[in-house]
């Protein structure tokens, strides 16, 4: 399967990894949209939010807990941050392996573009 984030998981493509555990990894976004912009991905290939199965519920919760830990590590937890998982063309999803964006370090606008 030709998946960019599976290749990063398998170290076939380099990335600046900031967290790794048995179920997920996190790395710096190559095109950061904020002072902190980290992607948290499950090791398991799941194409989009629409493909999350009942058995994946704990895994997806884990992605959020890892994002929260990274936000604390980066010192952005108190000021606030945003976690986003895009799904499908109109959301702007470009990589079809789910990833939680952790964005912070600057004020965010709402609604998003």
Residues found near ligand 5GP in the complex (CB under 6 A)? 4, 13, 15, 27-31, 39, 86, 92-95
Query: Which CB, 2 or 78, lies closer to Zn ion?
Result: 2
**Chosen residue from 6, 59, 60, 84 binding Zn ion by CB under 5 A:** 6
Q: What binding mask, one character per residue, do residues 47-86 give for Zn ion by CB under 5 A, x or -? A: ----------------------------------------
Q: How far is Cα of residue 90 from the mean position of the Cα atoms in its chain? A: 18
45-70 as b/e: b if 16+ CB within 10 A: ebebeeebeeebeebbebbeebbeeb
The answer to whether residue 37 is catalytic is: no
Minimum distance of ligand 5GP from residue 86's CB (angstroms): 4
Smallest distance, ligand 5GP to C-beta of residue 59, A: 18
Let me know: does 97 contact 6? Beta carbons within 8 Å.
Answer: yes
45, 64, 99, 101: the active-site residue? 99
Which string of DSSP letters, residue by residue, matches 15-63?
--EEEE-SSEEEEE-TT-SSSEEEEEEESS---SGGG--GGGHHHHHHH
Residue 3 interacting entry, from ligand 5GP, Zn ion, none, C-beta within 5 to 8 Å by type: Zn ion
Catalytic residues, by residue number, are 99
């Amino acid at each position: 399967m030709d998946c960019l984030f599976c290749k990063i998981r398998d170290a076939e493509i380099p990335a600046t990894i900031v967290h790794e555990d048995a179920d997920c990894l996190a790395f710096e976004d190559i095109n950061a949209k904020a002072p902190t912009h980290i992607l948290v991905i499950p090791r398991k290939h799941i194409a989009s939010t629409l493909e999350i199965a009942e058995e994946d519920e704990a895994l997806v919760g884990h992605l959020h807990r890892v994002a929260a830990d990274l936000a604390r590590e980066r010192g952005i937890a108190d000021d606030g941050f945003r976690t986003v998982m895009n799904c499908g063309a109109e959301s702007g999803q470009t990589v079809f392996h789910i990833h939680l964006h952790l964005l912070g370090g600057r004020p965010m606008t709402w609604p998003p573009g």
